[in-house]
Amino acid sequence: MKSMTREYGARAIRLSPLLAVLLAARHAWADGPQATPDIFAPASTPAQSIVGLSIFTLAITGAIFVVVGGLLTFAIIRYRERSTDAASEPPQIYGSVQVELAWTVIPILIVVVLFLTTARIIFAIQDAPEPKSALDVTVVGHQFWWEYRYPKLGIVTANELHVPVGKATYLRLLSADVMHSFWVPQLAGKTDVVPNHPNETWIEPQHTGLYVGQCAQFCGVEHAKMLIRVYVDTPEQFAAWVHDQQQPAPSDPEVAAGRRVFETNACTNCHRIAGTPARGTFGPDLTHLASRATLASGAVINNPQNLREWIKDPDHFKEGVLMPAMQLSDLQIDQLVAYLSTLH
Amino acid sequence: MADQTLPIAGTLGVTPQRSRSSRLLAWLHEWVITVDHKKLGILYISYSLIFLLVAGAEAICIRIQLAMPNNHFLSPEVFNRLFTMHGTTMVFLVGMPILFGFANYLVPLMIGARDMAFPRLNAFSFWLTAFGGLLLYYSFLGGFGLYGMGNAPDVAWFAYAPLTEKAFSPGHSTDYWALALIVSGFGTLGTAINIIATTLSMRCRGMTLLRMPLFVWLMLVVSAMTLVTITPLTAAQAMLVIDRYLGGHFFDTQAGGSAVAWAHFFWIFGHPEVYILVLPAFAIENEIVPVFSRKGIFGYPAMVAASVGIGFVSMGVWAHHMFTIGLTSVGNTFFVLSTMLVGIPTGIKIFNWLATMWGGRIRFASPMLFATAFIFQFLIAGLTGIMLSVAPWDWQLHNSYFLIAHFHYVLVGAIVFNVFAAIYYWYPKATGRMLDEKLAKWHFWLFVLGFHITFDTMHFVGFMGMPRQIYTYLPDRGWGPLNLVISIGGFIQAIAVLIFVYNLVHSYFRGKEAGNDPWDAWTLEWSTPSPPPVYNFATDPVVYSRRPLWDLKHPEDPDWKYES
């Protein structure tokens, strides 16, 4: 039943001609594959129940709009001044108890219905008990990137969250500095990430794929590039990913020079690479950097050219990022990029 | 009709001698030292209009930057300063002063008084507000102080903690923000006290509370709300300054402070603030709709009750700005209910305006055009407000462009539209000249077009997951085309506003003579000459009903026969 309303709602929205034109325009515009975090294209339980509720709300408010807007339009057309009007004033009417009572009581009834429906969904989402099988992830918001910790699996990673399909994942939200907000529209509503005020949210994705989102609470200069990527994997893919992430960083003697650059510069103050002396915690964990698709919290594709540019001048991609330019020589940067590219 | 002489004496027949010196300095001196409520009203309104242009220019810069994905028109630092200043300016330096400007100008005239209760407090309040604004804008020069070039605050207009703490916001830009709001807040408090005192103690004979024009009623409610809500804002700013300079830890989360407390303080001011801004827009609507429909307001007692009701309920809805911050489910549910309840008195108002128009003979002169667009837009703003009050949906919509669209529908679609309506309506009273009606129509239609292109579209980018306050976005998000449309609409609005400004200046010198009562209206201000003399009324007026001028114009069928 709920899925039917959702279908109808989604179709009604697609049928809206304005939106159809806009959607066409949006496909003509972009030159790559689209990844629009559309709130009406849910792929996970809380987001789906929200769509159901929002269609219901849209129907009620839409009906009110049609009735009141229609009456107003009628009044404008019917009662506008015409040249044939008599010079005298129209009859004066000061009020009517019955009419006024009616338009007070009807809205009250609407509020009661809408409130009860809303309250049900609030409790269903917010107070949902955590199933035993749920995956636990701790999300830490930092000025302008995301840290993901899987306490039971011993994994620490950054900016790209992996979760299994068809299973609940509970996210505990902490902040290392200022307020942020964790928002992946297709998976769930947003929940703020508040320092000194741990929050929790959960998702239960039904479809595999990549879902994007971003920080939704202004948090400083690079708030716009604090992007979120959530990979919903099949159970097999997820198990393989977990296995890979649990390994210490590969140590390839061919890139020992790059490793030396990393370990003898200030890189280690902020970054951690498991199995090496680098144990910093201010910046993202780089143990498996090369396994990630993006750099700079989702701002650019992770490839050697971008990585090189990023290390040379972090401001180039992300002006105001807290990572400083390390003033390394070209040779050192080449060695460093070669080393980091082996961290699968 | 327009120029009939009314039996309420409007002039003593002597005008105070004009200063022989026509030098600029003398003119300026007169405006600086004035304690006349009308001059202060005009000062408030002009001051706000100047800041409207400034904040509008900031919005245009923001829209150029966002017109394309990955645009490099503005750096992130500048973008963040501009949206912070745009929001702060529009709320504190445009919205509040312009509405108090109208209150200042009109309340004494409407209740048959010769001035406000405390004229000198009135002048003091204006100048405090004005210097608060200048202090805020001085941050562009002095914000970073010793740290380098000047800069403006960049912490967003709600300045969530702990981003405002010293650790994350070094330099002085945040101090300028906090201190400027404290200063202008005191000015606002002074005006609020003044308006309350004036309406309660300066009414002319026969003007009982239930005969006051609805405009005055709403200003009374707004002033009472201002007294209650500016206080937590000022307290919060003081705590913030203590945190920053005296080692306090109210909001310093690194030392155990609470970021959530700031949000509560800010929104317990911030939400009633929205009603403080929109009730004066209702006030304007209540004057314009009856006059141009040629019918008295429908359901006056219900309108008064609804206004007072909105005032009370709006004090208990603030945490609907915080549905995502991690309240308990019971807390969220409570604020869903209180927020939905506020829709009921608001709905009553819309129905009453509709009923006032119903059966009338509506003249679509420029004030009524804006006032009619107001009803449509406010209806939509109210309905999107209901959508946002549905907490689970708000978890999606909060801080998205849908939210931006919603509150600009309120702030522009309702408030700015009615500010324009009010200026077209009362400009003849204040200057003695009509605004050009043809330019007014251009202004109206272009502004309506631009407004809808911009803000209707914003709802949809919000549905597509675009958050607010981001200086750029990736092309693959698919938000590019809609943002371009939004920016185009912004430019159309800017052109419309320039036409309006031209009209204001042009008509001041070249406009048609207005006469006392160009709109054939019913409240006391139209019985005075245009512009009214310093003393307003030569003899104290006496009123017998809510529409004293209706009674004079229709002695055969006066209102007082029907009012209980």
At residue A87, does pLDDT exceed 80?
no
* Digit-coded pLDDT (tens) for A207-244: 999 999 999 999 999 999 999 999 999 999 999 999 99
| Residues forming a β-bridge with A138 | A149, A172
Q: Where residue A64 sits, what CATH number does that domain have?
A: 1.10.287.90
**3 state DSSP class of A1:** coil
Q: Are residues A115 and A142 in the same domain?
A: no
User: So what's the pLDDT on residue A175?
Assistant: 96
- E-only strand ranges, A222-301: 227-233, 294-295, 300-301
Residues A112 and A182 in one domain: no
Q: Over the stretch A43-65, which tens digit does the pLDDT of each residue have?
A: 999 999 999 999 999 999 999 99
Cβ-based contacts of B479 with chain A (< 8 Å): 36
Say whether pLDDT at B143 is over 50.
Answer: yes
Verify that A153 and A117 share a domain, yes or no.
no
Determine whether the interchain pair A197/B260 forms a contact, defined as Cβ–Cβ distance below 8 Å. Answer: yes
Work out the pLDDT band at A92, boundaries 50, 70, 90. confident
| Contact: B357, A75; criterion CB under 8 Å | yes
Minimum distance, in Å, between the CA of residue A276 and any CA atom of chain B: 30
Report the CATH number at residue A330: 2.60.40.420
Cβ atoms of A331 and A324 within 8 Å: the answer is no
Span B501-524, average pLDDT: 94
pLDDT at A23: 52
Whether residue A240 is found in the same domain as residue A258: no
A153 assigned to some structural domain: yes
* Distance in angstroms (rounded) separating the CA atoms of residues A214 and A217: 9
Check A183 against B467: CB less than 8 A apart. Answer: yes
Q: Are residues A103 and A12 in the same domain?
A: yes
**A95 confidence band (pLDDT: 50, 70, 90):** confident
B39-561 domain in CATH 1.10.260.30? no
3-state SS of chain A: helix, strand, coil percent to 5?
45, 20, 40
User: Positive or negative CA dihedral for B244, B248, B254, B260?
Assistant: negative
Q: Which residues of B touch A185 (CB under 8 A)?
A: 396, 465
The arithmetic mean of pLDDT across residues B44-49, rounded, is 96
pLDDT, tens digit (0-9, with 9 covering 90-100), for A121-135? 999 999 999 999 999
Q: Is the residue at A85 inside a domain?
A: no
Task: Determine contact, residues B111/B207, Cβ cutoff 8 Å.
Answer: yes
Interface contact flag, A189 B396, Cβ < 8 Å: yes
The verdict on a CB contact (< 8 Å) between B480 and A26 is yes
Mean pLDDT score across all residues of chain B: 91
Question: Is residue B556 predicted with pLDDT exceeding 90?
Answer: no
In terms of domains, do A281 and A297 share one? yes
pLDDT per residue as tens digits for the range B211-247: 999 999 999 999 999 999 999 999 999 999 999 999 9
Run of H or E including A137:
strand A135-142
Task: For CA atoms A320, A323, A328, A330, give the dihedral sign.
Answer: negative
Task: Look at residue A12 in the predicted model and tell me its pLDDT.
Answer: 47
Same domain, A224 and A272: no
* Same domain flag for A143 and A237: yes
Q: Is A29 on the interface with B (CB under 8 A)?
A: yes
Residue B38 confidence (pLDDT) above 90: yes
Nearest chain A residue (CA) to B361 = A81
Q: In the predicted model, what is the mean pLDDT of residues A89-97?
A: 87
Residue pair A277/A263 in contact (Cβ under 8 Å)? The answer is: yes
**pLDDT tens digit sequence for B292-307:** 999 999 999 999 999 9
Chain A 211-250, CB below 8 Å of chain B: which residues?
212-225, 227
Percentage of chain B exceeding pLDDT 70: 95
Output the furthest CA–CA distance in chain B (Å, rounded).
74
Q: Which residue has the higher pLDDT, A33 or B462?
A: B462
Amino acid found at B433: R
**Average pLDDT, integer, range A174-192:** 96
Residue A86 counted as domain residue = no
Q: Which residue of A has its CA nearest to B84?
A: A218
Judge whether residue A16 has pLDDT over 60. Answer: no
Residue from the list A89, A189, A194 with its beta carbon closest to the beta carbon of B395: A189
Q: At A181, phi and psi to the nearest 5?
A: -145, 130
Residue burial A14-45, b: 16+ Cβ < 10 Å; e: rest: eeeeeeeebbeebeebbeeeebbbebbbbbbb
| Together in a domain, A258 and A300 | yes
A123 touches chain B (CB under 8 A): yes
Contact with chain B for residue A99, Cβ under 8 A:
yes
User: Binning pLDDT at 50, 70 and 90, where does residue B3 land?
Assistant: very low
The tens digit of pLDDT for each residue in B425-480 reads 999 999 999 999 999 999 999 999 999 999 999 999 999 999 999 999 999 999 99
Interface of A with B in 134-163 (CB under 8 A): 143
Which domain-ending residue is among A227, A246, A265? A246
Closest CA to A323 of A296, A292, A286: A296
Q: Are B453 and B417 in contact (CB under 8 A)?
A: no
Q: Do B506 and B439 form a contact (C-beta atoms < 8 A)?
A: yes
Q: Which residues pair with A200 in a beta bridge?
A: A172
Q: Which residue of B has its CA nearest to A198?
A: B326
User: Do residue B340 and residue A22 have CB atoms under 8 angstroms apart?
Assistant: no
Q: Where are the domains of chain B?
A: 39-561
Write down the pLDDT at residue A86.
72
**CB atoms A192 and B372 under 8 Å:** no
Concatenated DSSP letters of B455-507: HHHHHHHHHTTPBSS-S---GGGS-HHHHHHHHHHHHHHHHHHHHHHHHHHHH
- Into how many domains does chain A fold? 3
Residue B20, pLDDT score: 57
Mean pLDDT check: name the lowest of A40-44, B12-16, B335-339: B12-16
Distances (CA, A) of A42 to A36, A104, A134, B54: 12, 36, 20, 41
Nearest to A26 by CA among B379, B480, B173: B480
Any CB–CB contact under 8 A between A53 and chain B?
A: yes
**Average pLDDT for residues B101-113, to the nearest whole number?**
95
Contact A181 B324 (CB under 8 A): yes
Confidence of residue A29 (pLDDT cuts 50, 70, 90): very low
Query: Is B332's CB within 8 Å of A38's CB?
Result: no
**Is the domain of A67 the same as that of A161?**
no
Task: Give the pLDDT of residue B16.
Answer: 52
- Together in a domain, A111 and A155: no
Whether pLDDT at A26 is above 80: no
Cα distance from A64 to chain B (closest Cα, Å)? 8
Range of lowest pLDDT (A71-80, B13-22, B45-54, B297-306): B13-22
Its domain, for residue A98, covers: 2-80+91-126
Among B302, B275, B248, residue whose Cα is nearest residue B96? B275
| One domain for residues A198 and A268 | no
